[in-house]
Amino acid sequence: MKAKKLCWYVAALLLIGLPSCEDLDSVYLHDLFVEKQVEYTLNISINNTSLVSSLIDPYDDLPYFIGGEVASGYFVRTKLFIYDSNGDLWGSSTDYNSSFNTLVEKQATMSPDDYTVVTIVDITSDTLDTYWQVLEESTLNTLHTSTSIWGQDSYGILAYSIKTASLSDANASISMSPSHLGALYSIFFSNVNYNSIKNIYYSVNIDPDSFSPDSRQYSRLLNRYQYNNLPFTGTYTGYYTTAYLLPKSSGLTFSYILEDAYQNQIGSTRSITLYPYANQHKLLTIDVTANTTSTTVLGPRLLNAPIGNANTDKSNRTSVYFNSNDHKARISTQSEIVR
């Protein structure tokens, strides 16, 4: 009797294409039903405002980025990477905006899992790798940054944030506020006797030049340095320049030489040891005549010791170790997460 009822049951199931009685022994209950794939939504919000809100240029006591804006032809680049529990890339996106104050928001529909979300923020000329590049993004443990074609000046900012999101039984939302990976140094060559000194040449090793978000470790991949020539024509008694440096507890050597009108070196090479720490931005004042230096917190001059008269020049972004052509600006873009 039970066998007859079972065959009637199977006969009914044949109407939807299920196995016949002959195959009943190989059919299991869980094979008769297809389970619907469960998916959840991950909402991501990235706020970059704090990266530049406190960066004050001591040359004119104005923000380096007024209103959070970058110059025409430059973009704030926000790269987003989502990795699954195996450390494999689930999806990524890249946004280009004209301001650090633009909130970047993303939404992803995902299968249940534990995910790691990484965002890396820098500035680009046009939409090209300019100061930094992001490499080997296919897995979390290989993802890292490295220097690109231009030296890291005030536009060489590099920041990141990393968070985890568990989508096991519900939707999730995370807010990310990237933090500086390095420190901005405003470098002021003051009290320059332009009657004899016609040029100052300085250099600093870019060491470290790479960062791994997974291990939170800095390293040096390339043998590069940042340099600049600061010419004096008799108009200025001081000169400002900038450098964005990644941390090194043992210190970085900042060297400079003085040259006369015939490009002959005056005196010996002068060296200063800098100790950059992430998010600790500094004003380095170098009194060239007295051959003394001082380091204070970067900020308005009223908050620091006086640094001389206003007869100084604010250098443009020429501190490069490779030259690159300028590029025309493009419209800011908002991107989707691509898998």
Q: Note whether 167 and 104 are same-domain residues.
A: yes
Whether residue 1 is contained in a domain is answered as no
Q: Which of 45-59, 79-93, 195-209, 300-314 has the lowest mean pLDDT?
A: 300-314
Residue 59: its pLDDT value, please? Answer: 82
pLDDT of residue 309: 38
Q: Which residue has the higher pLDDT, 273 or 309?
A: 273
Q: Tell me the pLDDT of the chain averaged across its residues.
A: 81
Secondary structure class of 73 (helix, strand, coil): coil
Task: Say if CB 187 and CB 241 are below 8 A apart.
Answer: yes
Triad 189, 195, 201: Cα angle to 5°: 40
Residues forming a β-bridge with 242: 186
Residue 226: the pLDDT is 81
Number of H helices and number of E strands within the chain?
Answer: 1, 23
CA atoms lying within 13 Å on the CB side of residue 33: 5
Q: Cβ–Cβ contacts within 10 Å for residue 264, how many?
A: 9
In a domain, 26, yes or no: no
Residues 240 and 188 sit within 8 Å (Cβ to Cβ): yes
Tokens in use for 30?
């869980």
- The more confidently predicted of residues 118 and 27 is 118
**Same-domain status, 156 and 245:** no
In a domain, 113, yes or no: yes
Examine residue 17 and state whether it is found in any structural domain, yes or no. Answer: no
Of the residues 180, 215, 232, the one at which a domain ends: 180
pTM comes to 0.80
Residue 334 has pLDDT above 70, yes or no: no
Looking at the chain, the whole-number percentage of residues with pLDDT higher than 70 is 76
Residue 325 forms part of a structural domain: no
How far from the centroid of its chain's Cα atoms is residue 7's Cα?
Answer: 66
Which tens digits make up the pLDDT trace of 197-244? Answer: 889 999 888 889 999 999 999 999 988 888 788 887 666 667 888 899
Tokens of 49: 């405002």
Which whole-number Å values give the CA distances from 88 to 109, 179, 188, 304, 311, in the listed order?
A: 17, 24, 46, 48, 55
User: At residue 37, does pLDDT exceed 90?
Assistant: no
Q: Examine the domain organization and report whether 160 and 176 are in the same domain.
A: yes
Confidence of residue 58 (pLDDT cuts 50, 70, 90): confident
70-99 pLDDT per residue, tens: 999 999 999 999 999 999 999 999 999 999
Q: What pLDDT does 213 receive?
A: 96
Domain annotation covers residue 336: no
CATH number at residue 301: 2.60.40
Region 181-208: mean pLDDT is 90
* Tally of domains within the chain: 2
Do 113 and 188 belong together in one domain?
A: no
Per the structure, the complete domain to which residue 101 belongs is given by: 40-180
pLDDT band at 338 (very low <50, low <70, confident <90, very high): low
Alpha-carbon span 112 to 132, nearest angstrom: 34
pLDDT at 95: 95
- Decide if 275 is inside a domain: yes
> What does the pLDDT average to over 16-45?
60
Instruction: Assess if residue 30 is contained within a domain.
Output: no
